[in-house]
Structure 1
Amino acid sequence: MTTISISFPKVGSQAYLLCAMRILWIAMPLAILLPLHLLWLLLKLPSPWAMLFLRICARALGARVTVYGKPLRRDVFFVANHISWHDIPILAGITGSAFVAQDGVRDWPVIGWLAKLNRTIFISRSEKQNVAQQVAELREAIAENWSVTLFPEGTTSDGRGLLPFKQSLFATLAPPPKPMMIQPVYLDFGIDGPDIAWLGEETGWESAWRAFTRPGSYDVGVHFLEPFDPGALADRKIVCALARSRIAAALSSKLGYSVT
């Protein structure tokens, strides 16, 4: 049995009060919307409740979201840069998308269970995992979802650059399992990016504690860029390069210098 050890930094009572308020802000809507979500799933109806709940989560954590461009609503594979787990409620609150996540998230208390309810696609990041099997599982999951979001950097950055994309995950889209588009997405946290980012040796619990006790709000721009048809391209390397180049161009325009 795995034992989860949680330690929090010594801080003043104000931080604990802020954390408690944000937990209540999230827990109260969850108590109402979760039964509705489960009922919609039982009736095999498209549920709007997960999207509403995640939008509330993003706002509870301080996100003031501005949307640029027009997100596609179905048969779309969103490809986004990755700053923190804040990205998930922010994007899902706009699109209702399912997500591709590392399989370790499945075992997180509460979070893992909620992720499964939101149709999260879990994949192993272990080098020992059979890539062909991983691709097959991802293709099957994509075929069952209207929209899926991937963070192809495979880890997080501080928003001031763009890491290399993992090409193997784009094998699911060369060709795609059904007619669908790729829409690159640029998440812009501005000057708050380094403070919001989950970097270094920080654990998931430490990152969550920092988010729940961070005073004030922050602005985030979500830029839905020009979509393209992966089925019209030759292979996964070209699909991957085109998605990355569009996000890099948007990031370069924002920062005022070239991002490669």
Structure 2
Amino acid sequence: MRAWLVLLPVVLVTLVGIPLQWASVALRLPTRRTIPVVYHRILLALIGVRVRVVGAPAAVRPLLILSNHVSWLDIPVLGSRLPLCFVAKSEVARWPGIGLLAKLQRTIFVDRAARAATGRVAGEMAARMNGGDAVVLFAEGTSSDGNRVLAFRSALVGAAGQAVGTERPATIQPLAIAYVGQAGIPLGRARRPMVAWYGDMELAPHLMNLLRHGAIDVELHFGTVIEADNRKAATLAAERAARTMLTGALTGRAPLPPG
């Protein structure tokens, strides 16, 4: 019953927000950046997701955020904190409903099977960053069970070096997304897949199960910024930082934020 009581207002808010965001994107209004933030905050409030931020998103632009990826819930969690653009696999654009929302979020889609697409996507990422948008890249290339950070891929990180019109390349900031509790109780390794969406899990049952329970606690740990002079070295440094921050968050021994 709770799942449906949550789903109905979610659908209503979505139906109201779609035409507003469509018009904002079509007319390139400033609200194209702020409407998604408001929408995601309402969404999290309805679902019952509490977000704690450790550190802060870097104020410098151009900015590329390299993050681990745990669940579809990562999108509203991150989207509720600041205006940003995501990079997602091209299949997402074809998902019913989700694809439309992703496009209205101004998501950059990449076909990982086509090598020629990397350059186009890198250029689009650079253009967004030069336009003042923070770009989020889930650098693992897939989602995980939330208990670990997979190896970060460096191919698209080269987009940071393509940020033209600036005196220096884009800044990279590592981020760790940690789902730490449910109803005030630590999730633990065994229960974290209740939130994590990975492998061959089907979206609809996972969504309904999460709506049924709610009361999710998630932490966003923003790390120290990294200069993108060497994409492979920067990617490895971001991976290590994200792994350290995630481990600290899940064990309750997270280091103090920088500064």
TM-score w.r.t. the length of structure 1 is 0.81
| Partner in structure 2 of residue 94 of structure 1 | 81
| Partner in structure 1 of residue 154 of structure 2 | 167
- 1:69-118, CA deviations, whole angstroms, 9 ceiling, x for partnerless residues? 12235532111111101000000110121100000110111111111111
- 1:119-168, CA deviations, whole angstroms, 9 ceiling, x for partnerless residues? 10000122565544443444344444511111011111122211011111
Identity of aligned residues (%): 30
Does the alignment pair 1:72 with 2:44? Answer: no
Judged with a 3 Å threshold, the aligned counterparts in structure 2 of structure 1 residues 165 and 22 are, in CA distance, closer, same or farther, namely same
Does the alignment pair 1:55 with 2:47? Answer: no
The aligned runs of 1:22-41 (5 Å cut-off) are 22-41=6-25
| Partner in structure 1 of residue 197 of structure 2 | 198
| Partner in structure 1 of residue 257 of structure 2 | none
Give the conservation status (yes or no) of the 8 Å contact 2:177–2:218. Answer: yes
Distance 1:250 1:99 in 2: 21
> Pick from 3, 7, 28: which aligns with 1:44?
28
| Partner in structure 2 of residue 217 of structure 1 | 215
| Partner in structure 1 of residue 249 of structure 2 | 254
Distance 1:127 1:35 in 2: 33
Judged with a 3 Å threshold, the aligned counterparts in structure 2 of structure 1 residues 96 and 70 are, in CA distance, closer, same or farther, namely same
Secondary structure in structure 2 of the residue aligned to 1:65: strand
| Partner in structure 2 of residue 123 of structure 1 | 110
Structure 2: 5+ residue stretches without partners: 181-185, 253-259
Structure 1: 5+ residue stretches without partners: 1-16
Give the conservation status (yes or no) of the 8 Å contact 1:121–1:141. Answer: no
TM-score w.r.t. the length of structure 2 is 0.81
> Pick from 223, 226, 229: which aligns with 2:224?
226
> Pick from 241, 244, 256: which aligns with 2:239?
244
> Pick from 173, 179, 182: which aligns with 1:189?
179
Q: What RMSD, in angstroms, separates the aligned Cα atoms of the two structures?
A: 2.5
Distance 1:81 1:130 in 2: 22
